[in-house]
Structure 1
Amino acid sequence: MTKLTGREVDAEKPAGWAHLYTGLQTRVRSGDFAAGLALVNTIGAAAQEMDHHPDIDLRYTHVDIRLTSHDTGGVTARDIRLARKISELVDEAGLEHTFAGLGWFELGLDTPDDAAVAPFWAAVLGFEQRTQEIVDPSGALPSIWFQQSGRAEPRQRWHPDLWIDPSEVRARINAAIEAGGTLESDAEAPSFWVLADPEGNRVCLCTWQDRDPA
């Protein structure tokens, strides 16, 4: 199965789904736990039949669903097919799903020597070490990736990356500025924007856009 480009995913994904980092995500407003559980069971049966299994987070009033193809490290046609099937099941249950407010969170560590520090962080967190990042084997905790930096002090070390749908970027930036922050850089937009809080601590708002090879 071939990994789809960002543009291909955006063109094929069903309404209500966002392409965040390496997967598709949506949130179903179930209203109560019983309705959410019933939907999860229905989705589980369909996923088993299609032999492709989503990550599902069942909460009291909603269900979060994420689809990704681990063998490719991204979204493939099998994820698109399952997303469409799940959307059908949500509609049949008389429920609604949306990507509004959803995000994919990871941490970046700016370092001049990731080979020296990555093993420590993998060991202390119980993560697996991969190329340029360490990940929680269960997928429950945010992954940590390492960004090359200089050694000059003072320098920032940790920064969060938040992946959101492109349609939500402007509202998030405006809200951050109204809350006392600043837009540090949009030089890499629409791939990512750098914002800072009143003390200069930075965060990147990231999207799938402009990340595929030309």
Structure 2
Amino acid sequence: MTKLTGQEITEQTPAGWVYLRNALRTRLRTGDFATGLALVNAIGGAAEAVDHHPDLDLRYGWVDVRLYSHDVGRVTGRDLRLAATISELAAAAGVTAGAEGLTVLELALDSPGFPEQLGFWEAVLGYPRDDDGDLRDPYQKVPLIWFQRSGDEEPRQRWHPDLWVTPAEVAPRIEAALAAGGTLVSDAGAPSYRVLADPEGNRVCLCTWEGRE
């Protein structure tokens, strides 16, 4: 099955969906649990009919949907077609699909001694190690943990969060962070990522799909 670039995916993504951390995502704002449950059942039926199954997170007031083709490790036309079907089901139920505020959080350990620390964290967390050497919760309820070789100059930050956002949210979040006393440490990795720091120097990366292909 043909793999699509991030730009192609973004151009073809239905309204209310975003391409975020290698998957299509949306939040269906149901307003109550019963409506959400009925919509999940409808989505399940449509997914079974095409033998392609989304990840669904049902909560009171909303349902989060994630689409990803595991067999090719990428979003494909299959996901785009099912996203369109899910949007139609949501509209028929009077439910709004929107991606405002959707993010994906990962944690990175910066260490001059990598990969010696990997075994320890694998044992403590009980996560399996994937092909990239990252520690990934198989149920995807806890952030992915990845490791990055760094210098040993002190003082330094060992852990840093990577926050995946849609490209459209980067500028507003940076503006808000600066207004709250933060600093833009580096945009040398833009548009893939920008590094920000809080008033005490603790860093976070704002990451997007752009510039990664």
TM-score by length of 2: 0.95
CA distance in 2, matches of 1:166, 1:50: 31
CA distance in 2, matches of 1:60, 1:145: 32
1:27 has 2:27 as partner: yes
Q: Which one is further off, 98-107 or 67-76?
A: 67-76
Say if 1:106 and 1:142, in contact at 8 Å, map to a contact too. yes
How many Å apart are 1:71 and its aligned residue?
A: 2.3
Residue matched to 1:176: 177
Letter in 1 for 2:89: L
Residue matched to 2:57: 57
Letter in 1 for 2:170: V
CA distance in 1, matches of 2:71, 2:44: 20
Q: Give CA-to-partner distance per residue, 1:78-135, whole Å, 9 cap, x none.
A: 1111111111111111111111000011111112333211121111111111213110
How many Å apart are 1:50 and its aligned residue?
A: 1.1
CA distance in 1, matches of 2:152, 2:71: 36
Identity %: 60
How many Å apart are 1:188 and its aligned residue?
A: 1.3
CA distance in 1, matches of 2:163, 2:119: 24
CA distance in 1, matches of 2:112, 2:145: 15
Residue matched to 2:150: 149
RMSD: 1.2
Say if 1:118 and 1:129, in contact at 8 Å, map to a contact too. no
* Change beyond 3 A, Cα 1:72–1:114: farther
Letter in 2 for 1:35: T
Residue matched to 2:42: 42
How many Å apart are 1:150 and its aligned residue?
A: 1.8
Q: Which runs of 4+ in 1 moved over 6 A?
A: none
Letter in 2 for 1:71: D
Letter in 2 for 1:126: G
CA distance in 2, matches of 1:50, 1:111: 45
Q: Alignment partner of 1:135: what SS?
A: coil
CA distance in 2, matches of 1:20, 1:87: 17
CA distance in 2, matches of 1:113, 1:46: 49
Matches within 5 A, 1:123-202: 123-130=123-130, 131-202=132-203
Residue matched to 1:73: 73
How many Å apart are 1:24 and its aligned residue?
A: 0.8
1:84 has 2:84 as partner: yes
Structure 2 unaligned blocks of 5 or more: none
Structure 1 unaligned blocks of 5 or more: none
Letter in 2 for 1:31: G
How many Å apart are 1:157 and its aligned residue?
A: 1.3
Say if 1:26 and 1:65, in contact at 8 Å, map to a contact too. yes
Q: Alignment partner of 1:46: what SS?
A: helix
Say if 1:14 and 1:83, in contact at 8 Å, map to a contact too. yes
How many residue pairs match? The answer is: 212
Residue matched to 1:114: 114
How many Å apart are 1:155 and its aligned residue?
A: 2.1
CA distance in 1, matches of 2:126, 2:173: 33
